[in-house]
């Protein structure tokens, strides 16, 4: 079965914004856990490297969100 779905650009932008906001929340939660010494490594098994990389990803997603926001 095939399904063709056409979306207006505003709808797609809204979906992208919602997903970016959810990803930022998730990364912030991961960052809190990682700083506290809990949770799993996301990008690196080295805690300091992992925390730094999570912060970089949060900043990158926030930049993209500003573009779509």
Q: How many domains does the chain have?
A: 1
Within a domain: residue 40? yes
Q: Does 6 fall in a domain? A: no
Q: What is the pLDDT of residue 54?
A: 97
Average pLDDT, the chain: 93
User: Does residue 39 register a pLDDT over 90?
Assistant: no
For residue 67, what pLDDT is reported?
Answer: 85
- pLDDT score for 62: 95
Domain hosting 34: range is 16-68
Whether the per-residue pLDDT at 9 is higher than 80: the answer is yes
Owner of token pair 């730094």: 52
| 21 inside domain | yes
The model carries a pTM of 0.82
Question: In this model, does residue 43 exceed pLDDT 90?
Answer: yes
CB neighbourhood size of 23 (10 A): 15
Q: What percent of the chain clears pLDDT 90, i.e. is strictly above it?
A: 70
In order, the DSSP letters of the chain are --------HHHHHHHHHHHHHHHHHHHHHHHHHHHTT-S--SS-SSHHHHHHHHHHHHHHHHHHHHHH-
């Amino acid at each position: 079965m095939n399904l063709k779905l056409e979306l207006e650009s505003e709808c797609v932008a809204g979906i992208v914004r919602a997903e970016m906001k959810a990803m930022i929340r998730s990364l912030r939660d991961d960052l809190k856990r990682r700083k506290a010494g809990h949770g799993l490594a996301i990008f690196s098994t080295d805690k300091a490297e992992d925390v730094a990389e999570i912060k970089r990803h949060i900043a990158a997603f926030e930049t993209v969100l500003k573009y779509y926001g």
